[in-house]
Structure 1
């Protein structure tokens, strides 16, 4: 049995202080392109989690040792940290509290067109399905069990800290935004070195 690794984190205040001093680490934002376009830290690079996992070996040669991973709240960034650490990149850190904490701290952001974040979309879809199946279930016996299945799925999502509905919603064109080309990301990383 292997010991669980401790993920190093960096507070928004510490990261902001580093950027103010001109010593900003490399920032990889692992959210979807749609989330990134809505709001991101200036100077960060968008490498969605699935792209990072798929191309981590290619990315390694273009990342220095001072990398901070960013997502909405920290969960996806921790998953990205684990993937990059397994590929051999040491000294990774995760932005504590993610973009939620960064924005709450009043640190600078770059904004694009407003869109709903993934958590809000999941609440809308799950709530709507439960409401509709509950109402239809009044007339059609057994339909209410779909709402029960949704509830079970949300419970599992909370306990496992994963969300199948979020993964499915991320595949919608609304959330995908522009397709991330790994060659373009690597070229940007190389030119910033």
Structure 2
């Protein structure tokens, strides 16, 4: 079974009429930049469905709403919950981008470089280094460029990016604790 979805507008109406549990699974730095006012940060790379559900104070039968930047990481988080036996999880369609675009209430902080841009910068740098070293030092260094290219192709096919997972753990992406 897969998680259901909800539009940001529908979720906002639910949150206005009562309390709703909304977790944001982006990195702390991304969360600090902008997040829905009701959201609590629970980064995907450290997400424990059991811990999240236990912290809900007996409301495990109520839906848990999950949001990220655009919906992809939230979908992965929902799958983690379903695999752990918690089926009442709902992915917010379009993520925080759609939430903010709809003019719904957000908290804005310091601007950061998105994880996607960080991956593009790191991959481009590694390809460039591999090419330059391959030309000026030894042809075997071209293997670095090939390795990065293969990694990007794998990321595109599987929708899983090892470089993004590694970059998400870097200190500059941890930021201050923003959890409510």
What's the TM-score bracket when you normalise by the shorter of the two chains? 0.7 to 0.9
Instruction: Give the drift of 1:68.
Output: 0.7
Which of 1 and 2 has higher RCO (CA within 8 Å, sep 6+)? 2
> Matched residue of 2:45: which SS?
helix
> Matched residue of 2:26: which SS?
coil
Q: Over aligned residue pairs, what C-alpha RMSD do you find?
A: 1.9
Q: Which runs of 5+ in 2 are unaligned?
A: none
Q: 5 Å matches for 1:114-129?
A: 114-129=111-126
2:26–2:68 contact (8 Å) kept in structure 1: yes
C-alpha distance in structure 2 between counterparts of 1:168 and 1:62, whole Å? 27
C-alpha distance in structure 2 between counterparts of 1:165 and 1:70, whole Å? 21
Name the residue aligned to 2:11.
15
Counterparts in 2 of 1:136 and 1:156: CA distance versus 1, 3 Å: same
Which TM-score applies when normalising by structure 2?
0.87
Q: Which runs of 5+ in 1 are unaligned?
A: 189-193
Q: Number of aligned pairs?
A: 175
C-alpha distance in structure 2 between counterparts of 1:165 and 1:11, whole Å? 30
Instruction: Give the drift of 1:24.
Output: 5.1
Query: 2:111 aligned with 1:111, yes or no?
Result: no
Instruction: Give the drift of 1:147.
Output: 0.8
> Matched residue of 2:86: which SS?
coil
